Structure 1
Amino acid sequence: SDDINSRTPASRQVVTYDSVAGKSINFDWNSLNTAQKNDLRTDGTGSTDTEASGMARLGYIRGDRNCEINSTGGTCLYPASGKDVNGQVFSSTSLRKRNSALGDIVHSGPFFVGPPGTSYPDTIEPTAPYSTFAIANKTRAGMTYVGSNDGMLHALDENGNEVFAYIPGSLFSTVAGEGLHYLSDPTYIHRYYVDLSPTVQDAYINIGGTPAWHSILIGGLRGGGKGLFAIDVTDPSALASAAASKVLWEFTDNNLGYTFSDISIGKMNNGTWAAIFGNGYNSDPNGDGHAKLFILPLDGTSPVIIDTSVGNIANTDCNDPGSDCNGLAAPRLVDLNGDGIIDRIYAGDLFGNLWAFDVSNALAAGWAPAYGTDPLFQACSATPCTSSNRQPITMEPDIEFHPTQSSNSTAPNQLVFFGTGQYLTQQDNADKAQQSFYGVWDSGGTGDLNRDALVSQTITTTLDASLGNVRTTTQNPVVYSSTTKGWLIDFPTLSGGALSGERSVTRPSALGSIVFFNTMTPTISSSDLCSVGGSGWLMAVDLLTGGQPALIPIDADNNGVFDANDKLGSAIVVGTQTGGGGVPSESRFISNKRVTTDSSGGLQVDNVQTGPAKLPARMSWSELDAP
């Protein structure tokens, strides 16, 4: 933030998108369209203010501090003349006082991009080997991309200096309490703007009539709005000099809601490279309330939308008592034959359905849910499934090829790992419904599986004098067959049998013979999700059974040795409680370390072991599961 605060507003490279003209533009007054100017001219009551006030708000967003409350600067610095076309001057120190011109960064994780390093085979684009692109860019300067709630995606060089910033065009709004004008409102109450973590992936696409390899950034708003954008970040030097020309497109759709999950990128069987994502939540007022999978070509051509047809909306409002709106969470991409091309996609929805999508056809018209109108699995706390016992899936699942089942008769032989629960709104804090973690075998045939096809494992929580609060689990055998399709773990109840509200809302990691996953139990009652309190568990169970593993997965006493001290008697510890007083985020794995941050700002580093497979040195958001 030091660099941004020390810059003059006019010196910053800031661009936005004109949805009317369908192109990116510089974020300056003369480049904006009428609707965008009207947003900046809107005052705190929703009325249209003078053009000079709009120019002042634009300068404020670019970093001008002169017109903030208690400022002694006088006339706003941007534009330099301080006057609009009518000669009006905005010199009032009435705009919201900030601690920094850089907004807060909450859910958007920074994404570092260095030289190309994706493990694509050269055969994925035979006429343009990926290795040639990687070699040509091997000295590419590193850049970090992150969204913030000042309305911008920021691009920072290796010294932390801002190279450019992008304001999504979908943020403009004249509604009181929304839009860019609200950022300068003295009555401002925190809201999200560019709050989704960006994703960057190399892809072979046609830009300007010439197919070539590019590094493409996909960003979004998370709770800040309903839309995505794409920027070509192949050449950092071009971003510094001509950032507007590198914005490829913005995307919205009637059935696109708030996308809370990261976007995946990959090559499809029809030859296109695409961004793949679920439609998210609250796709109103113009959507149909269904859960849908979007496959959006990176060249900006029309998307393929696969409709599950599950969900409904009444009176164009997902909050209407007659509505039962659904939404699809982040998908997991699977390459079944090792050619680097996506063949199958898995994603869960708010109704507890875990969908398998078959995208192996060379024609997009042949892409569809693998089991017709049925999901692969329905997650419910009891059978039969009802609207009152279904368990929402809001995380991206993880996938592994089944290590003991490889028959063609049970293809595709994927083990799908996912937890249930929801943490999207303040109201979710009080939700105490029973949630679970699942390992489900996709063995072809018919879908529509439920918990009756799974073996249940039971968690026991113990307060140990040496280890603190730890967990063990049963070792019930799981014999995979035509009737047994995996395992489940119901999260424990409190003393006396009361439900705790424990849930799993972050992506698990299947590594070696172990599945690692985290759970959370929020406790805060305030309206600020940013400061959530609570507790959580860091779990590690056997991949095939969900029970106690054959090896010790967690160094529970943190002494660097996996031994009898990491057991309770003969029972191996499979879960440790977070020690920072907050709920855990998704863990990252580096060498033999599991690294987890929590909502209190704590950082927990644990020693882990996984068995046969090696832990990755780096995990990508858009990683394909392949044999």
Structure 2
Amino acid sequence: MLVGSLGAGGKGYFVLNVTQPGSKDGTVTSDFTTAKAASAVVLDRTLHPSAPLTAGSDDEDIGHIFAPPVMDDVNPFRTTQVALMNDNRWAVVMGNGYNSKNERPVLLIQYLDGNKALKKIVATGAQVVSSPVNAVTDTNVLANGLSAPKLLDFNSDGKVDVAYAGDLKGNLWKFDLTSKTASDWKVAEFGGSSKPLFVATYVDGKRQPISAPPIVKANDRGVGGVMVAFGTGVNVTDAHRISTEVQSMYSVHDNTKYKQAADGTLVVNTVTSDNGVVPVAVSGRTNLVKQEMETSATGIAGGGVNADQRFWKMSDNAVNYDKTKGTVNQGWYFDFQVSSERVLKPMSFFDGSNNLMVWSVTPAYGGNATGAESCEPAGTAEKAYLTLLNIMDGKRPSVQVMDTNGDGIYNKASDGLTSRMTIDPGASSATTGKKTISIKGAGNNKNKELARMPEQPMRPSWRQLQ
């Protein structure tokens, strides 16, 4: 199955059967012909911008879907969004995109088998549209939409248990998909009610939009649960492109624990005597530790083969998850200090470690000077950055992986403990070599080389089986 969307060109999505493309030698007949075009269409939920919508129909919740596929953390050729659900049916799971008629965030679960029904989970918390509309209190249900989700299979049975996704109002939603009955799927509860796990808000009170999918890893600091990391920012409208509102990088702790029920499904474990815990939402920045750039916003000039780059040293502030060691934190955050910088692309893990590869940009935009030639605007070019941060605590990598002075040697003393650098615009792919990881350059530009993480030796052990 091939699932696609129209992006800015239209609302909705489509599903095609691409099982039999044929072979080069002609021994296998291709289904990709004009005569068979109609039979290749499994489902078409695309909408023309001027198409009338039936009141109360599913189409009212389907908007412009821009997100690229969310790929598996281990297998970069496999998307996680086409998945087997706990009701034993295959589906593609998506955010509903932006500018839908209802303007609210909705998780779309489009079945690919049987009657190909569409299951929707509305993510607005307790909010509904006021009558008349109140732009102040109707925060989640006006000019909103859900971005691409990250799907998780906690018990390794090959079925999706949980989805995390952000929306344009800065809400990080968690969806509980553990039940075998689809009608029981819902926005996850924290403190007894369905609400966001976290709401991204800058110190000035402004919500920070989330347009890229989160990335998740089990918390390895002895308290269980998972760390959910995401960056903020959006670039859909002209106003977005020139916005200088501060965007941020967050990693928050979802402390929820699960146990397996008699029917094999997962249920939330709140029994403290059974190592359970009551799930708690992360309330604002108060319990998060701030990480920041220790060098100036302009950074350090690179040397040698990296003379065309700028580098930054990141802070190393401690984050505590153990209540026996003092005040407990619920994660960390980092405010981008370059004007207009934001996260628009999916993150990945660096060389199998806990270190996030955060791809961020300051978008390009055209000039609007009075009297300027319309075909030659004095615009601003896109700038791109790569920042490495540990998903657990936001600290820089424990080893030097960036070659600040360009001498081919990765050394903390001479390279200044840097873990953030400029990269070519459009670069967001990494190729792993024997000793280095290459960040692809744009056009004919040279690749940027990062040192690989040291190998972790396995401790030999044995036990006697009776």
Shorter-chain TM-score: what band? 0.7 to 0.9
1:451 to 272, 276, 285: 285
User: 1:399, 1:510 within 8 Å by CA — same for their partners in 2?
Assistant: no
Partner of 1:538: 386
What's the offset of the Cα at 1:247?
1.7
2:421 to 546, 569, 576: 576
* 1:240 maps onto 2:32 in alignment: yes
* 1:304 maps onto 2:96 in alignment: no
What's the offset of the Cα at 1:544?
1.9
SS of residue matched to 2:286:
helix
Distance 1:256 1:603, change over 3 A: farther
Distance 1:610 1:454, change over 3 A: farther
1:380 to 201, 204, 207: 201
Partner of 1:111: none
Partner of 1:146: none
User: 1:513, 1:612 within 8 Å by CA — same for their partners in 2?
Assistant: no
User: 1:313, 1:325 within 8 Å by CA — same for their partners in 2?
Assistant: no
Partner of 1:607: 450
One-letter identity of the residue aligned with 2:84: K
**Structure with more helix by fraction:** 1
1:417 to 220, 229, 248: 229
What's the offset of the Cα at 1:406?
5.4
Distance 1:555 1:362, change over 3 A: farther
- Structure 2 counterparts to residues 102-501 of structure 1, below 5 A: 216-237=1-22, 238-241=30-33, 242-252=36-46, 253-263=59-69, 264-284=81-101, 288-299=102-113, 301-309=116-124, 324-371=142-189, 372-382=193-203, 386=205, 389-405=206-222, 407=224, 413-444=225-256, 445-459=279-293, 460-461=295-296, 462-464=299-301, 466=303, 468-481=309-322, 483-492=328-337, 500-501=339-340
Residues 148-198 of structure 1: CA distance to partner in whole angstroms, max 9, x if unpaired? xxxxxxxxxxxxxxxxxxxxxxxxxxxxxxxxxxxxxxxxxxxxxxxxxxx
One-letter identity of the residue aligned with 1:464: A
SS of residue matched to 2:207:
coil
Question: How many angstroms apart in 2 are the aligned matches of 1:476 and 1:509?
Answer: 22
Distance 1:589 1:231, change over 3 A: same
User: 1:506, 1:585 within 8 Å by CA — same for their partners in 2?
Assistant: no
What's the offset of the Cα at 1:316?
13
User: 1:513, 1:611 within 8 Å by CA — same for their partners in 2?
Assistant: no
Distance 1:540 1:613, change over 3 A: farther
Distance 1:479 1:450, change over 3 A: same
One-letter identity of the residue aligned with 2:208: Q
What's the offset of the Cα at 1:400?
1.1
Distance 1:396 1:429, change over 3 A: same
Partner of 2:343: 504
User: 2:65, 2:98 within 8 Å by CA — same for their partners in 1?
Assistant: yes
One-letter identity of the residue aligned with 1:549: P
Greater shift after overlay, 297-306 or 389-398? 297-306
SS of residue matched to 2:31:
helix
SS of residue matched to 1:223:
helix
Partner of 2:77: none
Residues 512-544 of structure 1: CA distance to partner in whole angstroms, max 9, x if unpaired? 131110211135225999x97231211112232
SS of residue matched to 1:245:
helix
User: 1:306, 1:369 within 8 Å by CA — same for their partners in 2?
Assistant: yes
Residues 435-480 of structure 1: CA distance to partner in whole angstroms, max 9, x if unpaired? 1101111112122532112110111243336254211111111111
One-letter identity of the residue aligned with 2:166: G
Question: How many angstroms apart in 2 are the aligned matches of 1:555 and 1:484?
Answer: 33
Q: Give the TM-score of the pair, scaled to structure 1.
A: 0.54
User: 1:418, 1:437 within 8 Å by CA — same for their partners in 2?
Assistant: yes
Partner of 1:513: 354
What's the offset of the Cα at 1:612?
5.8
SS of residue matched to 1:544:
coil
User: 1:557, 1:565 within 8 Å by CA — same for their partners in 2?
Assistant: no
Question: How many angstroms apart in 2 are the aligned matches of 1:544 and 1:610?
Answer: 17
What's the offset of the Cα at 1:549?
2.1
- Larger RCO (CA within 8 A; separation ≥ 6): 2
Query: Where does structure 1 lack aligned partners over 5 or more consecutive residues?
Result: 1-215, 408-412, 494-499, 615-627
Larger C-alpha radius of gyration, 1 or 2?
Answer: 1
What's the offset of the Cα at 1:557?
4.4
SS of residue matched to 2:194:
coil
SS of residue matched to 1:453:
coil
Give the number of equivalent residue pairs: 373
Moved over 6 A (4+): 311-317
User: 1:514, 1:611 within 8 Å by CA — same for their partners in 2?
Assistant: no
